[in-house]
Amino acid sequence: HFRTRALLERRRRAPLDRGSATLAGEGAREAGYRSERSRTESGGVYSVRGSSMAEEDTTVTFVLEDEDHTLGAALVDVLNRSENVVFAGYTIPHPSERRIQLAIQTTGVVSPKEALVSAAESLEKMCSATDALFNSKVDEFRNQMQS
């Protein structure tokens, strides 16, 4: 819970639209794929891969470096609850890599990037509410123990 909240806080401070665009590896380049790779303010790295990276794309795969199941599963759960998301899923390419590939397909009402940002904000609110409730219950318990 606290790790997810810290990760979301780091993401919130570094919006997805920062950084410069670069081409992906040779195989992806031949297939017409582009990749945006950026470094966040806190030093983390994220990259975005898609067929054309245009705003009208409805399917994009986001590659989040230095992340694992903690953030992947939480984001997919929130994304799949959205009425504008057709599909959301993630995979970790290899157990030794700390990277997740988060695929998002939307209905076209919102872009995958907007869906991801919205899901991250919703997840942050859920974590804040859970944290506040937990802390209030701990305080309540401590007060009962002192009485």
State the 10-residue block means of pLDDT for the chain, 147 residues long: 52 42 34 48 52 70 89 96 96 91 94 93 95 97 93
Helix (H) or strand (E) holding 13: helix 2-13
Q: Measured at the alpha carbon of residue 42, what is the angle toward residues 33 and 89, in degrees to the nearest 5?
A: 45
Query: Domains, the chain, ranges and CATH?
Result: 2-146 (3.30.1360.10)
Write out the two tokens for 56: 């009208």
Give residue 24's pLDDT.
33
Give the chain's largest Cα–Cα span: 71
The conformation of residue 83, written as its DSSP 8-state character, comes to T
The answer to whether residues 68 and 78 touch, using CB atoms and an 8 Å cutoff, is no
Give me the pLDDT at residue 23, please.
28
Residue 4's pLDDT is 53
